[in-house]
Amino acid sequence: SDIHGLGNIYLSIMNYLENIRKNEEIELYINGDLIDRGPDSADVLLDIKKKIEKNRFKIVYLGGNHELMMHEVFEKRKKGIYVSDFNDWYNNGGWITDFGLEGELEDKDKIIEVSDFVSNLKIYHKFEEKINNKNIILVHAACPFNVKEECDLRIKDNNNSVFYYVWTREQDSYLPFRCRVGSKDYFTIVGHTPNNNPFGFEYHKNQNYLNIDGGC
């Protein structure tokens, strides 16, 4: 979760997976915010898109709030709406991804293809496995209110539910109610809010969730 365009960390993960793939079946789950802020954001995004298309092993890439911000900017551009350089995406490090894509892909149609790839990312994933008789949900920021066997929400839906699931933090003061990151019904794995654990994860027993945003 939350690699944020740090190519050295991304490559170390991929190299490790390629090594063990020779001997066992593997699956990779990316819990949002793969892009923005880090210098290799465009390269990381293009590489994961290529890996998913090649389908050498199972990769589930879920959207986070940074993928949502990217989608919002590109949707406005497609409609011919002017987007200021002071938009939310750029203010949160999105300009690195945007400029990187322009440098790597001179063809605008190719850039739109990448933005469509991001727009179609799912919001959560429900695992078949259980912990203490509870299903496990992987989502960027907060457990969905209505969990289905197969996620029917994508970044491009961009409704109130999508916003809540990729943006929520417990301490958010702008919400009209006390938000809940975890759920009593599901063991929830989130990123989004950097934790202070040197090992990169933090277990919140009272809300039944695990935070794996190691602060990349």
Task: Name the residue among 72, 38, 47 with its Cα closest to residue 166.
Answer: 72
Q: What does the alpha-carbon distance between residue 194 and residue 201 come to, in Å, rounded to a whole number?
A: 9
- Least Cα distance to 111 among 95, 122, 100, 96 occurs for 100
What single-letter amino acid sits at 58?
A: K
DSSP of 144-187: -SS--SS---BGGG-SHHHHHHHH--TT-SSSSS---SS-SSEE
Segment 83-133, tens digit of pLDDT: 999 999 999 999 999 999 999 998 999 999 999 999 999 999 999 999 888
| Other C-beta atoms lying within 10 Å of the C-beta of residue 22 | 7
pLDDT of residue 10: 97
Q: How far apart are CA 174 and CA 164, in angstroms?
A: 12
Global confidence as pTM? 0.95
Which pair of structure tokens corresponds to residue 82? Answer: 């002017």
Q: How far apart are the first and last CA of the chain?
A: 9
> If you ran DSSP here, which 8-state letter would residue 120 be given?
T
Segments of the chain scoring below 50 in pLDDT: none
Helices (H), the chain: 7-21, 41-54, 65-78, 88-91, 94-104, 108-119, 160-167
Percent of the chain residues topping a pLDDT of 90: 83
Give the bridge partners for 141, in sequence order.
none
